[in-house]
Structure 1
Amino acid sequence: MKKILIAVDYNPVSEKVAEQGYELAKNLNAEVCLIHVLDDVGFYGAQYPTFMGYDGYSGMGPDLDVAMEMKNIAEEFLEKAKSHLNDPQVKTHLAEGDTAKTIMAYGEEWGANILVMGTHSHSVLEKLLMGTVAEKILEKTKIPVYLVPVKK
């Protein structure tokens, strides 16, 4: 095992995921990369035409400042996560797109030997309607996955 990719998001349990993934990497003498995925940032600053009688968005163009600010926040988040691990050798990768697909694609591109993720607690309705990122990855990835239980 040479490379471990650790997926983190804005949920506070990511601290535990990052720490346990890092510990695993150190035990295996592996390289570490923290990945954070933003959904399509265009959605963050999107302005929409009138719909269902609501015209609050009419006449407004896309707000590129909002999208750029979301990227800046994500970059700062990744740098703080890296600093928390106190290892200058840790790499970071900020990506954009569907979270599960993007993690799998980057894992393959980077040559990850293990993907580390948390098992966030979602409501039954959320799981039924959307599934979870971990479930989607487990269903399709060729890379072994190390799940960190984070439920209290």
Structure 2
Amino acid sequence: MNKVLIALDYNPTAQKVAETGYRLARAMNASAILLHVISTATYYSSLNYSPIMGFDSFSNVVETDADNKLKERAQEYLDEFKHHLGDESIETVLKTGDFGETILQTATGLNVDIIVIGTHRRCGLDKILMGSVVEKVLHHSSIPLFIIPISASGENK
């Protein structure tokens, strides 16, 4: 294995996904690539990423034309992960689009060997309304996945 793509969302639980994915890459002597996808459908009114690896507030979702500011903050978010993991050789990739499709396209385009992604264990109405990025990636990927189950609190149950 040569490349591990680690898909990170805005959620503070992404820290566990990044750390686990990075350990996997190191164990396989592979390069790590951190990916963050900004949704084309929704922009966030809060452009502040918290120091705990996520948006400081997800409750205020509104349309905004602050694309450049959002991209700048998202890149800072990826750079924080890189710094947190202590490896400046980690590649960061920032994309805009549908989460699942963009993860798949990026993985294929970068010719990665495995995709590391976290699942928030959504179910019922929440899953229907929000969709499941992991499910989409799982059902459409020819690249192996390493799925990390994460509860809403960030702890495994």
| TM-score where L is the length of structure 2 | 0.79
Q: CA deviation at 1:123?
A: 4.6
Moved over 4 A (4+): none
Find out whether 1:83 has 2:92 as its counterpart: no
Greater percentage in helix:
1
Say how many residue pairs are matched.
Answer: 134
1:20 alignment partner, SS class? helix
> Percent identity at matched positions?
40
One-letter amino acid matched to 1:82: K
Q: 1:131 to 1:63 in 2, by over 3 A?
A: closer
CA distance in 2, matches of 1:25, 1:148: 14
Which residue of 1 is the match for residue 43 of structure 2?
44
CA distance in 1, matches of 2:129, 2:40: 20
Q: CA deviation at 1:120?
A: 1.1
One-letter amino acid matched to 2:23: E
CA distance in 2, matches of 1:24, 1:44: 32
Contiguous gaps of at least 5 residues in structure 2: 45-62
| TM-score where L is the length of structure 1 | 0.82
Contiguous gaps of at least 5 residues in structure 1: 46-61
CA distance in 2, matches of 1:68, 1:14: 23
Which residue of 1 is the match for residue 113 of structure 2?
113
Q: What RMSD in Å do the two structures reach over aligned CA positions?
A: 1.8
The correspondence of residues 89-104 of structure 1 with structure 2, limited to 5 A, is 89-104=89-104
Q: CA deviation at 1:40?
A: 1.6
